[in-house]
Structure 1
């Protein structure tokens, strides 16, 4: 009887197990959200020639545009995620959300110039500090003479 009681599921569990997940109707998704243009710089090539990706299944193949690329002033239902209520999530939404790594739009040349200028400035500061420490003026005041010549603390207290 105890085994039977442990495996018994109530009516709510049976009702939950019998429900089916509704399919997403692609006609409810705006056409601008679909990724069909390989010339798009954000195109990442998930759309297969056969139209079926075994990892995604029949889930809609949406554009690779994250929360950082969306317009801030569109008046979204969720301003942090920049999406409206009922929007279909991208299948890699964790990579496209606001907590994802930043999307950098700097060209490579500009980034290298900025890095080189940072290291040049740091090298200049280091050289200036080295020059000041090696070419500083000696102390013009005379060292203090202590009246106890045999006192061992004279070396510690002297300049």
Structure 2
């Protein structure tokens, strides 16, 4: 059973790129892709991933191919084992990811600043600037350098 021509026709419509229309600077020209001369008389197969084709009605249902169908020159990318075509456009996916990340961050901030209860106790306070004088002063409490240990011995 062959694939209907409407599948290939819609793929050709999708793959068609309209020319650019810039009104500023130099006008852009659209150069259609040249056919690869090494392909000679090999059929021009549309650039459509096999994952987007219907699941049933194929001679080989796993690879979604019929017996004798020409293989695209980029079959390793377009086969069933190639990378998945995106279901959601990248800009929409980025928007959804940003919304989800902002939701998690705002929930964390809400828990930290709004829902966190006050301390039930008073923090401990020490006289004389936190016992600086009783512990020997700021200079005595600093960590010693490794070189100073060797000089003291």
TM-score by length of 1: 0.50
> Is the partner of 1:101 in helix, strand or coil?
coil
Q: Deviations over 1:28-76 (max 9, x none)?
A: x98939x79997222488852xxx5234333221111111121113x21
1:114–1:65 CA distance, 2 compared to 1 (3 A): same
Aligned pair count? Answer: 107
> Deviation of residue 130 (structure 1)?
2.9
Conserved 8 A contact 2:45-2:72: yes
Aligned partners of 1:76 and 1:83 also within 8 Å: yes
- Report matched runs for 1:140-151 at 5 Å: none
- 1:42 corresponds to which residue? 15
Q: Give unpaired runs (5+ residues) of structure 1.
A: 1-28, 140-159
Partner of residue 70, structure 1: 53
Is 1:100 the counterpart of 2:73? The answer is no
Instruction: Report what 1:110 is aligned to.
Output: 92
Following superposition, the deviation at residue 96 of structure 1 comes to: 0.3
- List alignment gaps of at least 5 residues for structure 2: 18-30, 122-153
- Higher RCO by CA contacts (8 Å cutoff, separation 6 or greater): 2
- Report the RMSD for the aligned CA atoms in angstroms: 3.8
Aligned-residue offset at 1:115: 1.8
Task: State TM-score, norm by structure 2.
Answer: 0.51
> Contact 1:70 / 1:82 at 8 angstroms: preserved in 2?
yes
